[in-house]
Amino acid sequence: MKSLNIIQIISSPWWTGASEPVLQLSIGLSDLGHNVDFSCILGEELEKKAEQNNLKVIRKFVPTRKLNPFEIFNFVNSFAKYLDDSKIDIIHTHLTADHWLATFSRILAKSSPKIIRTIHNSRVSRSSILDNYLLAKSSDKLIAVNRYIKNYLHSNLEIPFQKIDVVQGAVDLEKFNPNKRIENRKNGRKILEVDEESFAIGIVSRLAHDRGYDFLLKGFKKISVDFKKVKLIIIGKGEFLPNIEHKVEQLGLTNSVSFAGYHEEDLVEVLSGLDLFTLMAPGSEGSCRAVLEAMAMGLPNVVTNFKGLDEVVLHGENAFSVPYGDEKKLVESFKEIIINKELRDSFGRNGRTHVEELFHRDYQSKKIQTIYKETLNLL
């Protein structure tokens, strides 16, 4: 098998959204024997984690999101030379800024590596002339992280279906697994300040206006009437916190809803303290990684069909998927799982099997490897 020369570029300074998926993909491709270089914002968490995982971080150029002509010129000039010197086969971009930088650099370079772009959420396409050029004309292949995004790109930008492949997310099966949930349950309950007699429903999501918190809280209000020992734990941070706190108070849920804050290093322990996981909307990274991690831990799930969230579960087998906004269905789904331990256990087992089959790093990396080779006419 021919080893490919690949560079992954991501211009996000945050360890959220697409950053972790890009890192995991890079590790997976390296494990398959490819030469993977990594370009990211220097001095941030992503650079540190890339180094910890033995990825080759390129420091000759730094991707910028600023409209600074000097920074853009320096990147494009250095990157074009690097493309020629390193004989790069694939430039894999993940954000709009990365894509533009790669496009300008390829024009300047003597070589012609293929540009692959992963679309991590539907917000990237605004049906403008520039979007259409960048996605439709200045990329050799697009990868969508779910079918919703693929359909969105086709209907909004008229990009042909055959130009878009779907490769869903991946989860670290060793880090997130049911055995750790059993081991860490007591500590998880302590972190979340939940007693053993309570039934803990958890959501891990940014506290933002578009994450479905109003819908969730209205449904949970009805749950709390019939089940006094059921608690909703909101895990995350964000600018919408005051609004959510106000809604909780307005609904009289201050004794039933708690805010656990943001957890990263001890996320496994936190998930271990839950009895049921829920998510109302995908985040800035549309692979719905939070649900995959919960399933990998053996947790039952209740999700909605909003923007492809339901694509990562099997309704009735490892989760309940409800139409977004259907409060009645949401409440019924929660109640059925709360009262039925056998169903909870079955959903948990099936969820783990589901991610073991379709949502692990090796599976994802091999699918993207195939896309690279098809784009290079090596298959």
For the stretch 305-352, pLDDT in tens is 999 999 999 999 999 999 999 999 999 999 999 999 999 999 999 999
Q: Residue ranges of the domains in the chain?
A: 5-170+360-375, 178-358
Q: Which amino acid is it at 24?
A: Q
What residues contact 249, with CB distance under 8 A and at least 6 apart?
none
- 8 Å CB contact between 203 and 281: no
Q: In this prediction, what percent of the chain has a pLDDT beyond 90?
A: 90
For residue 189 the two structure tokens come to 């309950």
- pLDDT band of residue 125 (cuts 50, 70, 90) is low
Q: How far is the C-alpha of 230 from the C-alpha of 202, rounded, in Å?
A: 11
Identify which of 66, 69, 70, 48 has the alpha carbon closest to the alpha carbon of residue 57: 48
Average pLDDT of span 24-34 = 97
Q: How far apart are CA 78 and CA 254, in angstroms?
A: 55
Average pLDDT, the chain: 95
Cα 324 from Cα 106, distance rounded (Å):
42
- Among 177, 201, 185, which residue's Cα sits nearest to residue 292? 177
In this prediction, what percent of the chain has a pLDDT beyond 70? Answer: 99
Tokens (6 digits) for 93: 């971009």
Is the per-residue pLDDT at 283 higher than 90? no
Of 64, 115, 59, 100, nearest to 82 by C-alpha is 59
Same fold, 5-170+360-375 and 178-358: yes
Q: Which residues contact 169 (CB under 8 A, 6 or more apart)?
A: 21, 145, 285, 287, 288, 289, 292, 312, 359, 364
Strands ordered across the beta sheet of 276-279: 257-261, 230-235, 199-204, 276-279, 301-304, 319-322
41-92 per-position pLDDT tens digit: 999 999 999 999 999 999 999 999 888 999 999 999 999 999 999 999 999 9
Phi, psi (deg, nearest 5) at residue 7: -125, 130
Quickly name the fold that domain 5-170+360-375 has. Rossmann fold (3.40.50)
Predicted confidence at residue 89, as pLDDT, reads 98
> What pLDDT score does 188 carry?
97
Mean pLDDT of 131-143: 90
Looking at per-residue pLDDT, the higher value among 239 and 136 belongs to 239
Return the bridge partners of 230, or none. 199
Q: How confident is the model at residue 17 (pLDDT cuts 50, 70, 90)?
A: confident
What confidence score (pLDDT) does residue 1 get?
67
The pLDDT value given to residue 284: 80
Tokens of 3: 């080893």
Task: Evaluate whether 181 touches 299 at the Cβ level (below 8 Å).
Answer: yes
* Residue 286: predicted pLDDT: 84
Check pLDDT > 80 for residue 302.
yes
Residues 6+ apart with CB under 8 A from 126: none
Provide the residue type at 86 as one letter: S
Tokens of 285: 């990274």
Q: For residue 316, what pLDDT is reported?
A: 97
Is 126's pLDDT higher than 80? no
- Is pLDDT at 105 greater than 80 in this prediction? yes
Closest C-alpha to 92, from 378, 284, 362, 375: 375
Confidence (pLDDT) at 127: 58
CATH architecture of 178-358: 3-Layer(aba) Sandwich (3.40)
Q: Which two tokens stand for residue 252?
A: 């009289």
Contact 251, 221 (CB under 8 A): yes
φ, ψ at 283 (rounded to 5°): -95, -155
Q: Residue range 17-24: average pLDDT? A: 92
Q: Please answer whether residues 232 and 257 qualify as being in contact, where contact means their C-beta atoms are separated by less than 8 angstroms.
A: yes
Q: What is the pTM of this model?
A: 0.94
Number of helical (H) and strand (E) elements in the chain, helices listed first:
14, 13
Q: What is the average per-residue pLDDT within 33-40?
A: 97
Confidence of residue 285 (pLDDT cuts 50, 70, 90): confident
Q: Which of 299, 261, 286, 288 is nearest to 176 (CA)?
A: 299
Distant-in-sequence contacts of 367-371, Cβ < 8 A, 24+ apart? 367/167, 368/25, 368/29, 368/143, 368/167, 369/4, 369/29, 369/32, 369/34, 371/116, 371/141, 371/143, 371/165, 371/167
Q: Strand 114-119's sheet: what is its strand order?
A: 56-57, 35-39, 5-9, 90-93, 114-119, 141-144, 164-166
